[in-house]
Structure 1
Amino acid sequence: MRAVVQDVYGPPEVLRLEEVDRPVPGKGEVLVRVHAAAVDQGVWHLMEGRPYAVRAAGFGLRAPKARVRGMDLAGRVEAVGPGAGRFRPGDEVYGEGKGSFAEYAVAKESRLAPKPRNLDFDAAAALPVSACSALNALRDAGGVRAGQSVLVIGASGGVGSYAVQLAKAFGARVTGVCSTAKADLARSLGADEVVDYTREDPVDGRRRYDLILDIAGNRPLGALRRALTPRGTLVIVGGEGGGRWIGGNDRQLRALLLSPFVGQRLRPLASVVRHGDLEVLTGLVEAGSVTPAIGRTYPLDGVPDAIRHLRAGHARGKLVIRVAPDPH
């Protein structure tokens, strides 16, 4: 099969399209014929091996243990492994797999769900990692409730585009933060207000929010806390910048240490893709409450270009990799 592989850590230039053996599903796994995949910040971190904590976490100290990148996927079940009884060959599914920038990928059945009926494969592939992160941030870490005021910093990106829609679905009043060029997207997603961070500071303390989602940001904890109500909740979703060892995760560690001593709840997000959460998202998608915002699509050999576009900060919503033509 064709797959995008890497043998060393580094920039997008280390990726190349190559013929490799088709993976074999193990216990509790299924083999998926991938029709579409998607790009997120986690793909870049695993490609670069940065921060170095990524390597120490088991992904390979000197070189990547897994040669094929990619997590989000949507496609058809090709075969099932031992003990995987939830799906059958031919079922249309979406979720998180191992090495989805390939024509076939293995996935745990616990991280897959039936594809939403009203989405094609491209749109379904744009959901799993980012939408589950947004759901976990709002519902689980944030405890969002109807009537609350929610600030989404990074409202036009992959996670943020879902966070705006989900917060609205939960009955919150949403303020989205993004650049001038992406304000129209944030409004189209349902944001009640949009703050252009190039013109004003969204966390200067003049307005306070019950819940703040800081997505892949680098603002100081003190500034974020000034924009919270006295009993408000801050959820830090990823983080960029920082040192080579732990990167932007230093804010998450400090938030975790500080939270027991203040009235506000300061929470880092550790999100995973789960079958149950995917089913929740499927229900919201089929009800029309959530719609994937796809900025661009790329062919399989365009993965390096997609990652460059993402890291340059130009992406609007999700970037999708079209691995195979939609059979419909």
Structure 2
Amino acid sequence: MTTNTLSLVQGDRKSNDKMSAIVQTEYGSTDVLSLQEVDKPVMSDNGVLVRVHAAAVHAGDWHLMRGTPFLIRFIFGGILKPKIKILGTDVAGRVESVGKDVTQFQIGDEVFGDLTECGFGAFAEYVCATEAVLAFKPTTLSFEEAATVPVSALAALQGLRDYGQIQAGQKVLINGASGGVGSFAVQIAKAFGAEVTAVCSTKKIEMVRSLGADHAIDYTQIDVTKNGRHYDLILDVAAYRSVFDYLPVLKTKGRYVLVGGSTARLFQVLFFGAWISRLSRRQVKCLVSKPNQADLLVLKDLIEAGKITPFIDRRYSLSEVPTAIRHIEERQVMGKIAIRL
């Protein structure tokens, strides 16, 4: 082997050990994000190495990027600087290799999943996860569509089914119905047989109607807490009003579930939810979503049955992740933002 040939082989070997990723080494605006060449993740015996074909952006990404609210730094580590260097939790791709203890997947399988409990890392060409957080990709969806499902649809499913205990025939109010979680929640609530009232801004009314909402309310025109209707379940995805505003329109023994919104509202429900529940005879809870394969399979079945369809607002490339996160921060996204690789 000649010296030149050896150099080429070594160069190829080195490049095969590298990948492109969006990297962050400090907290701040999208200026702290940069596209870099980094080492591929090292796969463990129970790991699944996935070649990422698509990812998705949601509010959690910009909270982690900025390190706000400050509580996030305690939860995910890194008080002064982030321990999570590569963001991204929603992933869809093809299995590149598997560890010796993996039994459910093999090379070439198309999968999707939520990487929240596997160190994040979806904004990269490769990511390593355990098989417990992955499931086979819905056959009816593209990689980009599938990548928008895990985090937001899992939150919607668990908020409605587990925390809200949704039942067929119930009247369900979804505040923030046009966003990532909200757009899935409208469809999932309809799949459970509920009568759905969706709350959003003026320009998003037609969008939530297209998702199947029975009633669409423009919050700039109508105050949902004073429209005379009462609900069995309120899923508050955009909690910027006090929970006390909603209690008068929540039926006795009804349920209020906070999914997202302002930090003040989050702390109100976390610290006072049990007390409010006892006094009001209504259940007030804050969702803590739990990524798991079983629920991904529930979502897969609903998708393949035609009961859930992801709504993608925009698509960006990997290098455009900072632009995608800026768009999320503007709070004007309808449905989801997909990242294609």
Contact 1:96 1:107 in 2 (8 A): no
CA RMSD of aligned residues (A): 1.3
Count of residue correspondences: 319
Match for residue 60 of structure 1 among 78, 87, 92: 78
**Alpha-carbon distance change, 208 to 27 in structure 1, aligned in 2, over 3 angstroms:** farther
Query: How far off its partner does 1:314 sit?
Result: 1.4
2:13 matched to which residue of 1?
Answer: none
- CA distance in 2 between partners of 1:37 and 1:195 (Å): 31
Higher helix content, 1 or 2: 2
Letter in 2 for 1:169: A
Letter in 2 for 1:225: L
- CA distance in 2 between partners of 1:15 and 1:257 (Å): 42
Letter in 1 for 2:51: R
Query: How far off its partner does 1:241 sit?
Result: 4.5
Q: State how 1:8-47 maps to structure 2 within 5 Å.
A: 8-47=26-65
Match for residue 225 of structure 1 among 247, 262, 266: 247
Q: State how 1:1-328 maps to structure 2 within 5 Å.
A: 1-97=19-115, 98-204=120-226, 206-242=228-264, 248-323=266-341
TM-score of the aligned structures, taking structure 2 as reference length: 0.91
Offset from partner CA, 1:233-253 (integer Å, 9 cap, x none)? 0000022253xxxx8433333
Contact 1:205 1:226 in 2 (8 A): no
Q: Which runs of 5+ in 2 are unaligned?
A: 1-18
Offset from partner CA, 1:106-150 (integer Å, 9 cap, x none)? 122111100001101000001000000000000000000000000
Contact 2:269 2:285 in 1 (8 A): no
- CA distance in 2 between partners of 1:216 and 1:40 (Å): 13
Letter in 1 for 2:128: V
Secondary structure, counterpart of 2:93 in structure 1:
strand
TM-score of the aligned structures, taking structure 1 as reference length: 0.94
Secondary structure, counterpart of 2:325 in structure 1:
helix
Query: How far off its partner does 1:205 sit?
Result: 6.1
Contact 2:140 2:304 in 1 (8 A): yes
Offset from partner CA, 1:299-327 (integer Å, 9 cap, x none)? 1011111111111111010000112xxxx
Query: How far off its partner does 1:58 sit?
Result: 3.3
Bigger Cα displacement from structure 2, 99-108 vs 161-170: 99-108
Larger of the two Rg values belongs to structure = 2
